[in-house]
Amino acid sequence: MKTLWTPWRIEHVQGLAAKPRHCLFEPEGHEKQDKEQLLLFRNATVVVLLNRFPYSNGHLLVAPCRHVACITELSPAEAADLTLMVQRATAILRRRLSPQGFNIGCNIGAPAGAGIADHLHYHIVPRWQDDHNFITVIAELRTIPEHLLATFDRLGPDFLAISST
């Protein structure tokens, strides 16, 4: 079961994680969606990003807009919005990529495996039966831009259709 929660540490282990000037979960600009930043959705409280270092196709990151490290720091309204967005994003993945399962969760604190420990984020990892070959390929090649952008295009319209309010 350990493997379910450690694979995204590979970016950490390999030192390949992007080191943006600012926090990854606070994308630049104000656009609701921005392909260059792999930003699928943003409103006043929540952002959804396509993980640049995916564990599987469609690996999403859902975070509150506010820079907090733990779910205990969220207001009830923020916690509700975040949970609702995890649910909506999962529904979109189910509709567009037809996965057979999901790993959904968050690593809180560096010892728990959080790559970016100071900004809370949920991972949504779609899973398929016998998807290990794919995962191995992705893990070794680490990020094929065309592949990421194709997935972005596939999911993007559904996120744009979500009301901002």
* Residue bearing tokens 């409103």: 43
- Residue at shortest CB range from Zn ion: 23
Least separation in angstroms between CB 66 and Zn ion: 8
The 10 Å Cβ neighbour count of residue 85 is 24
Taking only Cα atoms into account, the Rg of the chain, rounded to an integer number of angstroms, comes to 15
Query: Is-contact 123 9, C-beta < 8 A?
Result: no
Least separation in angstroms between CB 58 and Zn ion: 23
* Residues paired with residue 46 on neighbouring β-strands, in sequence order: 64
What residues make contact with Zn ion under the rule CB under 5 A?
23, 25-26, 67, 119
Q: Please say which residue, 91 or 110, places its beta carbon nearer to Zn ion.
A: 110
Q: Please say which residue, 59 or 121, places its beta carbon nearer to Zn ion.
A: 121
User: Catalytic residues, which ones?
Assistant: 121
* Residue bearing tokens 């680490």: 142
Least separation in angstroms between CB 138 and Zn ion: 26
Q: Tell me, what DSSP letter sits at residue 23?
A: -
